[in-house]
Amino acid sequence: ANATILMLARNSDVDNAVRSARRLEDRFNKKFGYPWLFLNEEPFSEEFKTRVSNVINGEVTFGLVPREHWYQPDWINETLATAGREKMAADNIIYGGSVSYRNMCRFNSGFFYRHPLLQQYKWYWRVEPDVHFHCDIDFDPFLFMED
């Protein structure tokens, strides 16, 4: 299938990204060989690229999220946005006060689909840093969706 495995990660996520990639490679991708695409809002470090590439058997691509897809536009009223985040934090809403979490959600809500490195693919499987796969995945979910 025309698909990729996608992970949005930061350089500080390297240990968890390596664990997730190794787990999915062992449980699924060693059988199917899909390429991986890693995206970050800042350039990946050489350490990140090397360590992740070492646990993936196939093609790995590292890309940068365009600034306009990650950060809020200049026309946003920052005073109101800050007040909203402070209220969410006071109300104990998980990640309520986090600007970086808002940026990530903004990107994942649609901008990721416009990323140039994803344009060649029909399907993607988004994997988070530090996820667990407890059993082998012996079928190809991309081919299943195509059928």
pLDDT above 90: residue 73: no
Give the pLDDT confidence of 74-133 residue by residue, as tens digits: 898 989 989 999 999 999 999 888 888 888 888 888 888 889 999 999 999 999 999 999
**Domain boundaries defined on the chain:** 1-65+121-147, 72-114
Instruction: Name the 3-class secondary structure at 146.
Output: helix
Q: How many beta carbons lie within 10 A of that of residue 34, not counting itself? A: 24
The answer to whether the pTM exceeds 0.85 is: yes
Q: What is the pLDDT of residue 67?
A: 87
Task: Decide if 70 contacts 107 (C-beta within 8 A).
Answer: yes
Question: Whole-angstrom Cα distance, residue 44 to residue 106?
Answer: 20
